[in-house]
Structure 1
Amino acid sequence: MPLTYIEISQFVFELPISDTVFQVRVNFERDVQKREALWERQHELAADKVYAMCADLGGFFLKIAQILGKPDLAPAAWVRRLVTLCDQAPATPFQTVKLILENELGQGIDDVFDRFDMEPLGSASIAQVHKARLRGDKSDVVVKVQHPGVQDLMMTDLRNLQAFALYMQKTDIKFDLYSVTKEMEKQIGYEFDFKREAAAMECIRKFLYQNNRRAPVLVPRVIRDMVTRRVLVMEFIDGIPIMNLGDEIAKRGINPRGRAAAAAKQKILQSLTLAYGQMILKSGFFHADPHPGNILICKGSEVGLLDYGQVKDLPEPLRLGYANLVLAIADGDQLRAAKSYRELGIETISNCENEQQELFRLATTMFDTKLPPGVTMLQPFSEESSIKKIGVQSFPEELFSVLRTVHLLRGLSVGLGINYSCAEQWRPIAEEALFQAGRLQGKDVKPRPKQRRSWRRLFSRG
């Protein structure tokens, strides 16, 4: 059943209230270790509650779990619990999967596949994937099958969330949440068309392979004539989910704080950052869902990027406007950041002192991965947050996918223990994009250190 507006309201307000009551109680405990243990237990209880709700309701609320379960936004107990919903959501029974496959492909499953694993490799909010082998072939493939009935459920949930967003943005959260939910509705609606996803996958694969001597990430190859709106067959990429990287390092007897582990993590994040910088700033057409369930770590620390259901094609003015904002953030240029806001169509209102400084802080919070010194978790709605000081009256729907992508990259970087600025790493790509558009002269391009040395320096800072 879809969640109602009232149930959403109860859920959003219940957790903060229970935390406030608990905080009063825990303050009476003087022993620091006992107090921390009490908080950890409270976080575990809250995480179980969120997990149970998201798992029971399914659909869109599995995506909510992906958003909440990020190490830069949530306590460790939440991340440990919610990250499992990225690819371990309730699965559709095999007999139903078999019927869908045979209806969509127009053939019996045994006529198409030499082998088909009944147990899925993983199950997410919209579909699940099975490992198989086509008849007469020697290579394994992945078969993605859409859950039946999930589209109506998810879109109803989104419409209820939009009503709630309209209410929330009238409170002290002065942010255009409704535009964000409208873009979510559009993007998630696209995910139900696997033909569109296959075309996007082929487009991004071609772009990355043509623009690099070696593609920074592996993109699965689509199996021709094996795609319908509800079924997608693609190349199998062998690897482990990035969320299991720590366990894999321990299993191999590698020191998780040693040089080998550090180099592997650095290479993983560098590959993802380069791929996304090129996609967003150079092409404008990008994979917009880099949550942990969509990232595989392959042999030699290569990165496989999966699931192209959510992609975004940025209009040219927004692509170049964002390139301007990247340069402003990388250079610490507050005036240029303010101008970039206007160019992007982000309308703000503020009565606070140092408005330009707060605007820049808001820009880095929204569009960069770097956390301030000593900060491991963002508190976006605290009284000191720029979101509370700067009202965002209008936020272009198309930019939400960029915002979400940057935040997912930040969550990955925190999880890997690397605090870095994607804006600094993307500066040369942003300069190239603006130069090619005739908006930047050669004399304005700033000299920069070699990328490898730059990454080593950033990584050593932690």
Structure 2
Amino acid sequence: MLPPLDFKDIQEKLSTNFRPWQRSFQFWVRAVDIYTGYKVFQVRVSFEKDVQKQEAMWERQHELAADKIYSMCSDLGGFFLKCPMGFHYWIYDLEVMEWESGQLEFIWVMIAQIVGKPDLAPAAWVRRLVTLCDRAPATPFGDVQLMLEKELGQSIGEMFERFEMDPLGSASIAQVHRARLRGDKNDVVVKVQHPGIQDLMMTDIRNVQAFALYMQKTDIKFDLYSITKEMEKQIGYEFDFIREANAMERIRRFLYENNKKTPVLVPRVIRDMVSRRVLVMEYMDGIPILNLGDEIAKRGINPGGKIAAAAKQKILQSLTLAYGQMILKSGFFHADPHPGNILICKGSEVALLDYGQVKDLPEDLRLGYANLVLAIADDDPIRASESYREMGIDTVVKCENGQQEMLRLAQTMFDTKLPPGVVMLQPFSEESSIKKITVQAFPEELFSVLRTVHLLRGLSVGLGINYSCAEQWRSIAEEALYRAGRLKGKDLKSRVRRRGLLRRFF
């Protein structure tokens, strides 16, 4: 006799199998609507000759598109709340010491460059999409408890003296809870993965890959597909918390061993409480960097005074030193320094959280990038061109003075410094280097470095400090090349002596 049919189980299986197709359909309908909306508008606005009226029309179009993008990201969630390709932008008010962080999907930004104005990110998008940050829905506590007990093999009561049911925060892949282990005096953070999130997000990434491939073949002369392939690889790693724990321990050990005092604090892993979907680590007591302005105001410190400026300078120097050492000396680095992963602790110490996105650069890329850092710091176009070839960045120059434009492109992509009077770079404007130089191939591994530099630039804008990470990293790059036999001792001494003379002269 056949067993009775379980219609509820059949319904759940059908729903699970159909969900990727449903998400894909929703993505493409909305993406095509936004894209064609800009294309049609581009024709319509060309008939308007009055510049001010054109500006007003563009603003309305961007607001309309921003509402549609917001709706899509909010409804679909998953990858579209994470925005892993996004660059982070800060709208900064020096008087009230506040900034907002907006994660803008890189593909959407690219669309705006081609079909819209040359601003890096339309203000209407920033205003609308900034509210998407940290909006991922929390998993109910019952599901969290089931996941924890299944992964770690014990009940919550056996493992924890106290466990806060309400999460500290919920992101696209996981959420975190504050707790205290039995027999311990210190609190820990318990990171628990959302059930079923991996399949959902990988579907989203493949849709974005297809869209990126279309864009690079029709509108954008940049290797977008390689970037999305690197994203797929990196986000795939984020679902393995054992890998994240190993990365956290490796970076913590490297920074503590290579400095008298580590430039950034790294949480300690509770080793016997790690699985693929659960990670327990030391609780870091601090304030999110986005709340720094409020904290300064609470303490009665003048936001424009020397104390506030010194604190911000110290924060940025600590982060920059840590990243320079990780990228150029080790090649293994934390690849996601967005504001949500940065805490400010006592004494302006910086804690770096979330090691789901890390990158291990191949030796040739690490040394090639060290060479490019020196080219940028020394304003050397010949060295910049050599570094491009060494790293496998394939370019076609479409202008006169190509070497100088290659250097400008390197500065735009791989340095944090903004030109005088510029508050936000416009790399896709008609006068920008990326319009004059076609990037036909861009190594996937290098995108993590590119993204990290852009996030550091966003932080520097938010803190009101304009600086060059290439200049800060010059000595680290020289040491890396010297240790690899690429820079002779006499050349290194000459470079150090020349810098000393320049400092005294200026």
TM-score when normalising by structure 2? 0.82
Structure 1 residue 107, shift from structure 2 partner: 1.5
1:279 aligned residue:
326
Instruction: Give the direction of change, closer, same or farther, for the CA distance of 1:440–1:377 in structure 2 (3 Å limit).
Output: same
Question: Is residue 176–residue 392 contact of structure 1 (8 Å, CA) maintained in 2?
Answer: yes
1:2 aligns with 2:49: no
1:59 aligns with 2:56: no
Residues 263-302 of structure 1 mapped to structure 2, 5 A cutoff: 263-302=310-349
Per-residue deviation, residues 412-458 of structure 1 (Å, max 9, x unmatched): 1111111111000000000000000110012222227999xx9xx9x
Q: State how far apart, in whole Å, the 1-side matches of 2:397 and 2:324 are.
A: 31
1:217 aligned residue:
264
Per-residue deviation, residues 26-53 of structure 1 (Å, max 9, x unmatched): 95579xxxx99x9989877765554443
Counterpart pick for 1:119 among 166, 180, 184? 166
Residues 157-196 of structure 1 mapped to structure 2, 5 A cutoff: 157-196=204-243
- In structure 2, the gaps of 5 or more residues are 1-21, 92-119
Question: Is residue 341–residue 347 contact of structure 1 (8 Å, CA) maintained in 2?
Answer: yes
Q: State how far apart, in whole Å, the 1-side matches of 2:124 and 2:307 are.
A: 27
Tell me which amino acid in the other structure corresponds to 2:86: I
Structure 1 residue 10, shift from structure 2 partner: 2.9
Q: State how far apart, in whole Å, the 1-side matches of 2:121 and 2:209 are.
A: 23
Which of 391-400 and 13-22 deviates more? 13-22
1:447 aligns with 2:506: no
2:138 aligned residue:
91
1:206 aligned residue:
253
Q: State how far apart, in whole Å, the 2-side matches of 1:187 and 1:329 are.
A: 27
Question: Is residue 398–residue 438 contact of structure 2 (8 Å, CA) maintained in 1?
Answer: no
Counterpart pick for 1:434 among 470, 481, 486? 481
Secondary structure of the residue aligned to 1:337 is: helix
Structure 1 residue 271, shift from structure 2 partner: 0.4
Larger radius of gyration: 2
Secondary structure of the residue aligned to 1:138 is: coil
Which of 39-48 and 324-333 deviates more? 39-48
Q: State how far apart, in whole Å, the 2-side matches of 1:183 and 1:47 are.
A: 26
2:410 aligned residue:
363
Q: State how far apart, in whole Å, the 2-side matches of 1:17 and 1:143 are.
A: 49
Question: Is residue 34–residue 65 contact of structure 2 (8 Å, CA) maintained in 1?
Answer: no
Q: State how far apart, in whole Å, the 1-side matches of 2:211 and 2:136 are.
A: 25
Q: State how far apart, in whole Å, the 2-side matches of 1:99 and 1:20 are.
A: 55
Tell me which amino acid in the other structure corresponds to 2:154: Q
Structure 1 residue 235, shift from structure 2 partner: 0.1
Instruction: Give the direction of change, closer, same or farther, for the CA distance of 1:25–1:219 in structure 2 (3 Å limit).
Output: farther
Instruction: Give the direction of change, closer, same or farther, for the CA distance of 1:333–1:449 in structure 2 (3 Å limit).
Output: closer
Secondary structure of the residue aligned to 2:496 is: coil
Per-residue deviation, residues 310-331 of structure 1 (Å, max 9, x unmatched): 1000011110000000000000
Q: State how far apart, in whole Å, the 1-side matches of 2:65 and 2:299 are.
A: 33
Per-residue deviation, residues 341-393 of structure 1 (Å, max 9, x unmatched): 00000000122111111111111111111111111122232212211211111
Identical counterparts, % of pairs: 75
Tell me which amino acid in the other structure corresponds to 1:67: G
Instruction: Give the direction of change, closer, same or farther, for the CA distance of 1:48–1:90 in structure 2 (3 Å limit).
Output: farther
Question: Is residue 34–residue 68 contact of structure 2 (8 Å, CA) maintained in 1?
Answer: no
Structure 1 residue 103, shift from structure 2 partner: 1.3
Secondary structure of the residue aligned to 1:255 is: coil
Question: Is residue 88–residue 338 contact of structure 2 (8 Å, CA) maintained in 1?
Answer: no
Counterpart pick for 2:175 among 123, 128, 131? 128
Instruction: Give the direction of change, closer, same or farther, for the CA distance of 1:317–1:143 in structure 2 (3 Å limit).
Output: same
Question: Is residue 223–residue 234 contact of structure 1 (8 Å, CA) maintained in 2?
Answer: yes
Q: State how far apart, in whole Å, the 2-side matches of 1:259 and 1:390 are.
A: 42
Secondary structure of the residue aligned to 1:215 is: coil
Structure 1 residue 160, shift from structure 2 partner: 1.1
Q: State how far apart, in whole Å, the 1-side matches of 2:221 and 2:53 are.
A: 36
Question: Is residue 282–residue 429 contact of structure 1 (8 Å, CA) maintained in 2?
Answer: yes
1:70 aligns with 2:89: yes
1:460 aligned residue:
none
Q: State how far apart, in whole Å, the 1-side matches of 2:417 and 2:248 are.
A: 29
- In structure 1, the gaps of 5 or more residues are 458-462
1:397 aligned residue:
444
Structure 1 residue 251, shift from structure 2 partner: 2.4
Per-residue deviation, residues 105-146 of structure 1 (Å, max 9, x unmatched): 112112211111111111111111111111111100000011
Instruction: Give the direction of change, closer, same or farther, for the CA distance of 1:111–1:429 in structure 2 (3 Å limit).
Output: same
Per-residue deviation, residues 137-160 of structure 1 (Å, max 9, x unmatched): 110000001111111111111111
Q: State how far apart, in whole Å, the 2-side matches of 1:250 and 1:123 are.
A: 27
Which of 372-381 and 271-280 deviates more? 372-381
Counterpart pick for 1:104 among 144, 151, 154? 151
Instruction: Give the direction of change, closer, same or farther, for the CA distance of 1:172–1:47 in structure 2 (3 Å limit).
Output: closer
Secondary structure of the residue aligned to 1:447 is: helix
Tell me which amino acid in the other structure corresponds to 1:138: K
1:261 aligns with 2:311: no
Instruction: Give the direction of change, closer, same or farther, for the CA distance of 1:91–1:260 in structure 2 (3 Å limit).
Output: same
Tell me which amino acid in the other structure corresponds to 1:358: E
Q: State how far apart, in whole Å, the 1-side matches of 2:163 and 2:124 are.
A: 36
Tell me which amino acid in the other structure corresponds to 1:9: V
Secondary structure of the residue aligned to 1:206 is: helix
Structure 1 residue 71, shift from structure 2 partner: 2.9
1:421 aligned residue:
468
